Amino acid sequence: MSDNCLFCKIIKGAVPSDKLYEDDDVFVFRDIAPQAPVHFLVIPKKHVKGPGAVEAGDERLMGKLIRVADQVARQEGISQYRLVFNNGEKAGQTVFHIHMHVLGGRSLTWPPG
């Protein structure tokens, strides 16, 4: 946990969220500014700043994010979706607690802007 981290506050319940799933390791909630009909964020409870800060011992946890993303996507009624991690400001990262965007419910173009 990091005191000044928005997503750590969401995990603790200090900031409200539209929670879709939670277990001992992972927290899932709807993005506040959805970019697709289905858009939610999958985060580890462990505070990791971003993909570039993932450590050797985190591999299992990072893999779990994908499995939970698929489970929640299916709960939301979709089996086709895009997973996105932004790493650093130039890549569009605005919250520095690692998060996987799950986007779906419409056709998505490639490449992204």
Is there binding between residue 87 and ligand AMP (CB under 6 A)?
A: no
Among residues 29 and 81, whose Cβ is nearest to ligand AMP? 29
Is there binding between residue 4 and ligand AMP (CB under 6 A)?
A: no
Residue 68 and residue 26: Cα distance in Å, rounded? 8
99 is a catalytic site residue: yes
Query: How is residue 77 annotated by DSSP?
Result: T
C-alpha distances (whole Å) from 104 to each of 14, 17, 30, 41, 107 are 28, 20, 12, 12, 7
Is there binding between residue 70 and ligand AMP (CB under 6 A)?
A: no
Site for ligand AMP, rule CB under 6 A: 6, 15, 17, 29, 31-33, 86, 92-95
For the annotated catalytic residues, the residue numbers are 99
